[in-house]
């Protein structure tokens, strides 16, 4: 039985753990939208199934699926992946699922943020996000987990935490008028302090170039452990990413985490640059708000990986860079298996492996 608490996680002694901490399961949602996923979402389903299989070897996966897709999903997923009937408007579990918080006594609760399709009336990507908005509560109810309803529009991909009091985010996203225009930066920090149990905020100026989420932090940087991050890096001075990653590095070098430690910053090469091909663009059904045209720059990044128990599952995006990224990740995570999964189809939808997964901590 799930109960909604009127207090806040901080008041009740809860905090959001880092992704590097132990996990009991990983949530995902099955892709269907024809204006996000090409060719009726068939290739995306293969990609999601491959990610689910790779994650499931380290951590049990729970896949949320609409009634219409139950049979297809069941037939494409390993038997040990749990399939539950919970529909969504699109399939970015990081952004629509609960952000889990834990306490010191093994307690586990979910934070249910408001969701408005990455910008609502201002620049949202679709008009009806009611199923996405309802998903976190349905997941918590189904699992019998307690809930906090946070009075803030926020996607899980727009924050990273270290579990030790630090939150890294981007000003481009959290201060965008499409989210919480009535709140100041200080008021947003106050709410995040209460709902994530953090003390210290690091505000990166911008996320990856041409990212339709308004620069989610999870596409440019990943916290890999206390005071240690990977940052997407670009050495081509002609590329818009050149300045963006240097601005981020400057902030990280000038800041300390909540415990006063300076950051170790590992650089991950940028794949590509990657662009939508004519064939890919032709397979996506046109819609009002999501524009997909031939030659458009894709917001590809190796930083969009998932850390899940003894594995790191990262997107393969560019044969010229994939092995370099894998080698760097191996050095950063010597005790975890580094598994690469084809990420192109997920990237065409506007995100990658971190964006389609949401870990449930061990609690
Ligand atoms: O970056 C993410 N966490 C999600 C990407 C959403 C893309 C919507 N088309």
Look at residue 69 in the predicted model and tell me its pLDDT. 98
CA distance 127 to 248: 32
Contact (CB, 8 A) for 290 and 35? yes
Question: Is the distance from the beta carbon of residue 218 to the nearest atom of ligand 1 less than 6 Å?
Answer: yes
pLDDT in tens, 111-126: 999 999 999 999 999 9
Which sign, positive or negative, has the C-alpha torsion 133, 191, 185, 248? negative
Q: Closest ligand 1 atom to the C-alpha of 355? A: 3
Look at residue 286 in the predicted model and tell me its pLDDT. 86
Q: Dihedral of the CA atoms 290, 137, 140, 69 (nearest 10)?
A: -50
Of all protein residues, whose CA lies closest to atom 5 belonging to ligand 1?
A: 351
* Token couple for 49: 């199934």
Question: Is the distance from the beta carbon of residue 169 to the nearest atom of ligand 1 less than 6 Å?
Answer: no
* Token couple for 233: 């890096």
Contact (CB, 8 A) for 203 and 251? yes
Rg (CA), the chain: 19
Strand 146-153 with 82-85, pairing: unpaired
Look at residue 291 in the predicted model and tell me its pLDDT. 77
Look at residue 220 in the predicted model and tell me its pLDDT. 98
Look at residue 292 in the predicted model and tell me its pLDDT. 85
Backbone φ and ψ for 175, nearest 5 degrees, come out as -100, 10
User: Bridge partners of 297?
Assistant: 275
Q: Which residues of the chain have pLDDT under 50?
A: none
Cα–Cα separations (whole angstroms), residue 197 to 111, 160, 161, 189, 312: 11, 12, 10, 11, 25
Question: Is the distance from the beta carbon of residue 214 to the nearest atom of ligand 1 less than 6 Å?
Answer: no
Look at residue 287 in the predicted model and tell me its pLDDT. 86
CA distance 126 to 147: 26
Give the residue numbers marked as catalytic. 355
DSSP, res 41: G
Contact (CB, 8 A) for 147 and 206? no
Look at residue 123 in the predicted model and tell me its pLDDT. 95
DSSP, res 287: -
Question: Is the distance from the beta carbon of residue 98 to the nearest atom of ligand 1 less than 6 Å?
Answer: no
Model confidence, pTM? 0.98
Look at residue 288 in the predicted model and tell me its pLDDT. 78
DSSP 3-state of 143 = helix
User: Which of 132, 216, 298, 303 gets mutated to test ligand 1 (max ligand atoms within 8 A of its CB)?
Assistant: 216
Look at residue 39 in the predicted model and tell me its pLDDT. 95
């Amino acid at each position: 039985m799930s109960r909604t608490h009127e207090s806040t996680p901080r008041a009740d002694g809860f905090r959001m753990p880092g992704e590097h901490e132990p996990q009991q399961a990983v949530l995902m949602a099955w892709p269907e939208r024809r204006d996000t996923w090409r060719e009726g979402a068939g290739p995306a389903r293969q990609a999601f199934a491959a990610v689910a299989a790779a994650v499931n070897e380290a951590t049990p996966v729970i896949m949320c699926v609409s009634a219409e897709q139950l049979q297809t999903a069941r037939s494409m997923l390993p038997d040990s992946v749990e399939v539950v009937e919970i529909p969504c408007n699109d399939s970015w579990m990081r952004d629509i699922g609960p952000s889990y918080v834990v306490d010191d006594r093994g307690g586990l609760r979910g934070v249910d943020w408001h969701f408005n399709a990455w910008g609502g009336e201002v620049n949202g990507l679709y008009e009806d996000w009611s199923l996405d908005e309802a998903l976190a509560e349905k997941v918590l109810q189904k699992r019998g987990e307690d809930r906090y309803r946070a009075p803030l529009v926020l996607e899980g991909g727009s924050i990273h935490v270290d579990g030790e009091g630090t939150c890294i985010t981007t000003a481009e996203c959290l201060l965008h008028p499409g989210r919480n225009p009535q709140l100041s930066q200080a008021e947003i920090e106050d709410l995040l302090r209460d709902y994530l149990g953090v003390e210290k905020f690091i505000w990166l100026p911008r996320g990856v170039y041409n990212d339709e989420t308004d620069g989610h932090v999870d596409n440019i940087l990943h916290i890999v452990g206390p005071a240690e991050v990977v940052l997407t890096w670009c050495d081509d001075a002609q590329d818009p990413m050149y300045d963006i990653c240097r601005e981020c590095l400057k902030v990280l070098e000038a800041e300390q985490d909540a415990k006063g430690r300076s950051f170790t910053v590992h650089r991950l090469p940028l794949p590509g640059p990657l662009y939508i091909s004519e064939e890919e663009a032709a397979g996506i059904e046109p819609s009002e708000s999501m524009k997909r045209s031939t030659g458009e720059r894709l917001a590809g990044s190796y930083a969009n990986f998932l850390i899940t128990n003894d594995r790191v599952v990262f997107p393969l995006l560019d044969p010229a860079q994939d092995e370099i990224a894998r080698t760097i990740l191996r050095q950063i995570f010597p005790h975890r298996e580094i598994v690469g999964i084809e990420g192109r189809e997920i990237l065409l939808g506007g995100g990658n492996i971190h964006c389609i997964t949401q870990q449930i901590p061990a609690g």
